[in-house]
Amino acid sequence: MLSTDEQIKPQMFHEFLRDKIDQSNIKQSDMAAELSFDRANIISMFKAGKTRVPLRSIPQIAEILNIDPKQMLRMAMLEYCPETLKAVEQVFGGAITKNEQGILNEIRGLSQGTDPEFFSIQHRKDIEEFVKGLMRK
């Protein structure tokens, strides 16, 4: 298991959104207009974490920013309403993002469809190293 210092700390939703907006070439005023918000400063408020993004707006924001909408909705719900997310995932299962599906497809290909088991401490360590490698930029 990763030590406390090595734990991957989840990014706050507003920080994730801020980074994605800042990396895009989209003006905040254009984004606000496309989302039918009257004032562009609402986007600044989302980015600063001063106002929550309405969950109903997440699919459209994800499309504008070219983000997996499942990832974005899950991140928002994890922060805004974790108990609701827990209930939804218990009933419907967790959503698999496009990137997670790619990883799963790679595992399936490498294991030649043998359905490998995950059962030992060493497997856990191997997966931790794999994930740390994916997180390096």
**pLDDT 10s digits, 41-56:** 999 999 999 999 999 9
Residue in this structure with the two tokens 């984004």, named with its chain if needed: 31
Q: In 3D, which of 62, 66, 118 has the Cα closest to residue 74?
A: 62
pLDDT at residue 101, rounded to an integer: 87
Task: Find out if CATH 3.90.1150.10 is the number for domain 11-92.
Answer: no
Question: Mean pLDDT, the chain, as a whole number?
Answer: 88
Domain with CATH 1.10.260.40 in the chain: 11-92
| Global pTM value | 0.72
Residues 6+ apart with CB under 8 A from 88: 77
pLDDT band of 73, cuts 50, 70, 90? very high
**87-129 pLDDT, tens per residue?**
999 998 888 888 888 888 888 888 887 888 877 888 888 888 8
Burial of 9 (0-12, 13-18, 19+ CB in 10 A): exposed
Overall average pLDDT of the 3-26 stretch: 81
Q: Which residues contact 99 (CB under 8 A, 6 or more apart)?
A: 68, 71
Cα-Cα-Cα-Cα torsion 127, 132, 133, 136, nearest 10 degrees, comes to 160
